[in-house]
Amino acid sequence: MLNYRPVKGAEVSVAIGGVTCPVEGTGEVELEFYKSGECETITLLNVLYSPKLKQNLISGSKIDKAGHNFVCNKNILNVYHKDGHKLFYAKRQDGLY
């Protein structure tokens, strides 16, 4: 995680029904994707760190707030850049992306 900053007293909602996890920090994460042999790097901003979570979760509301788009179909979440090209996909696991 880049530019990690510890936080105190923060929580994030992780499911319907008010289920939350404590957040210990925030920062940025760089992801590399290869498309047609070329590397593309994107930086995820305002990433939350919660050591209690065993898997990474993707926030649809944060994707939308950043101006990007996503489409869910057949247990796959496709995330698209503002200009329309596909950035990445995620598979649904245990009801979450």
**Domain assignment of residue 32, yes or no:** yes
pLDDT higher than threshold 90 for residue 67: no
- Provide the number of structural domains found in the chain: 1
Write down the pLDDT at residue 74. 93
Task: Give CA torsion, residues 86, 28, 63, 92, to 10 deg.
Answer: 70
Over residues 26-65, the pLDDT tens digits come to 999 988 878 788 888 888 888 999 998 888 887 888 888 8
**Domain assignment of residue 96, yes or no:** no
For residue 57, the enclosing domain spans 4-91
Distance in angstroms (rounded) separating the CA atoms of residues 38 and 81: 17
Q: Token digits for 95?
A: 């009801």
In which band, very low, low, confident or very high, does the pLDDT at 4 lie, cut at 50, 70 and 90? very high
**Domain assignment of residue 97, yes or no:** no
**Domain assignment of residue 53, yes or no:** yes
**Domain assignment of residue 61, yes or no:** yes
